[in-house]
Amino acid sequence: MLITGIKSRPVYDRLAPFPEARLHVIVGQGSGGSAMLRLLQDMPAGAEIEVLYSTESFSGQDHLEALREAAPAICHGFADNASLLAALDQRLSRAFMGTRLYLAGSESFIGLAMKIARQFDLNADEVLREHCGSLVRRVWCVHCDAYSENITRRVFACTGCGKPLIVRDHYSRLMGAFMGVQADAEVPGELPEATDLDS
């Protein structure tokens, strides 16, 4: 079958304050709010912090009110991930030396946020990422270039071209997604079992 032994899923961190940071930009969505709250408790007194949080979530978890209580003057809430990511792009365009980025949430969200961080040359030692909540995947179709969000099954219909895709275990940092290839390319109409994706 098309599934190989390639496993390139990112390895995630546990959020903890960077001791040398001049500005801590804490960004997350949905279930990532729990990691953000823990990080805020661990921040040194007097640290310069900015929080951006989206309530859009596959799991339905919403930590906005708790984050506003923990960081009332510096917490910015967004109704969806797209708005938050646009704000992150704007925030990083004004970043200065010593800015450190913390990301928490779904794998799809973290992948999209990392694409923005790389545009501003934030290195791996300037960003911490903690995966929280569901193991849903963002999948890029190699046939039509479309992205499908919140995929939980090994085989699914592409949201762009409608082809039955199988989710490969190859994660592209450039695309911020797993690769999806036509599931019945070798034998038309013969599809593998549509099992749940594992971690």
pTM: 0.81
Domain boundaries, the chain: 23-131, 137-182
In this predicted model, what pLDDT tens digit does every residue of 37-77 receive, in sequence order?
999 999 999 999 999 999 987 777 899 999 999 987 799 99
Q: Number of H helices and number of E strands within the chain?
A: 4, 10
In this predicted model, what pLDDT tens digit does every residue of 159-183 receive, in sequence order?
999 999 999 888 887 888 899 999 9
Cα 174-175-181 angle, rounded to 5 deg: 125
Which pLDDT score, from 0 to 100, does residue 2 have? 45
Given a contact cutoff of 8 angstroms between Cβ atoms, the answer to whether 53 and 36 are in contact is yes
What is the distance between the alpha carbons of residues 26 and 70, in angstroms, rounded to a whole number?
A: 13
CATH number of 23-131: 3.40.50.80
